[in-house]
Structure 1
Amino acid sequence: MKIAITATGATLEATLDPRFGRCPYFVIVETDDLGFEAVPNPSAMANSGAGIQAAQLVAEKGAKFVLTGNCGPNAHQTLSAAGLGVIVGCSGSVREVVEHFKAGRYSTAEQPNVASHFGSAPASNASNGPPPETQSPTNFTPGMGRGMGRGGGGGGMGRGMGRGGGGRGMGRGGGRGRE
């Protein structure tokens, strides 16, 4: 049986990448003999639709299950519609994930485990090869920040305090003051 595992590299020793749509590679493993094919993910740098495009790619490769860390609603729906089982919450090397799968330690996820666009930070280094094999909690960036520093989050209700204008519109408007 073929299974697809999201990975940071192109080998069985690569670390599982927790982002389904943005992983650099899918390692498609034949569970009977551990033969595998490493497939670069062309959707890793996509502006939008990465999960759906990645799901279509994995389905075309003949996998019956996808094993990953996180899977959003669009990718989950596409995978389920194609008849693939989705297993989330995985971690470790690709080889370890395959061993756990074969031992029956995983169960399929009936629904996504993250919100849409959860992993929307593109895979770093995707054009220069795979990213480093290791990730620590201090360098994992799932892409959920809102830029809250020094501006209150950009909620659109500010007074335009830039350039010392006190919010009075410093542009080239038609207002010439009082006459």
Structure 2
Amino acid sequence: MKIAFTAKGTDWDATIDARFGRTDFIVLYDEASGTLTSVDNRDIEGVAHGAGPQTAQKLFDLSPDVLITGNGPGGNAAEVLQRANLKIYVGAANMTVKQAYEAYKKGSLSLLE
């Protein structure tokens, strides 16, 4: 399973970014291989409108099964992501990527319906 995180950095110690569309990085953990990679999303800062859909496109390119974030994507981006059968978990703000992963595994995060 591939799990994506919105993050302010690129490793397990990075803080989860509460924002989806304007997150600094997307960190991807592949449970099957045990690899952790990241995609720089800071170029989105200069975008006046449509940050959510552009970040969603980057996410699609990574093909995760799960997204873990702080507050979750906005309405349009959330709807598109959910139609793509991506499970979105919220409530990880102020956690590190590692803490958010552990909270997800324990069932402590909220599934966005």
Tell me which interval the TM-score lies in, with the shorter structure as reference length.
0.7 to 0.9
Uncovered stretches (5+) of structure 1, i.e. residues with no partner: 111-179
- Give TM-score, length-normalised by structure 2: 0.88
C-alpha distance after superposition, 1:54-91 (max 9, x if no partner): 11211210101111112210110121122211111212
Report the Cα offset of residue 43 of structure 1: 2.5
Of Structure 1 and Structure 2, the greater strand share is in 2
Contact persistence 1:4–1:27 (CA under 8 A): yes
AA aligned opposite 2:110:
S
Uncovered stretches (5+) of structure 2, i.e. residues with no partner: none
Amino-acid identity (%): 36
Greater than 6 Å deviation, 4+ residue runs: none
Report the Cα offset of residue 16 of structure 1: 0.4
Cα–Cα, structure 1 residues 14 and 103, in superposed 2: closer, same or farther, change >3 Å? Answer: same
- Give TM-score, length-normalised by structure 1: 0.57
Name the structure 1 match of 2:50. Answer: 49
Q: How many residues align?
A: 110
Name the structure 2 match of 1:83. Answer: 85
Relative contact order (alpha carbons < 8 A, sep ≥ 6): 1 or 2 greater?
Answer: 2
Cα–Cα, structure 1 residues 52 and 32, in superposed 2: closer, same or farther, change >3 Å? Answer: same
Larger Rg: 1
CA RMSD in angstroms comes to 1.5
Of Structure 1 and Structure 2, the greater helix share is in 2
Report the secondary structure of 1:29's partner residue: strand
Name the structure 2 match of 1:61. Answer: 62
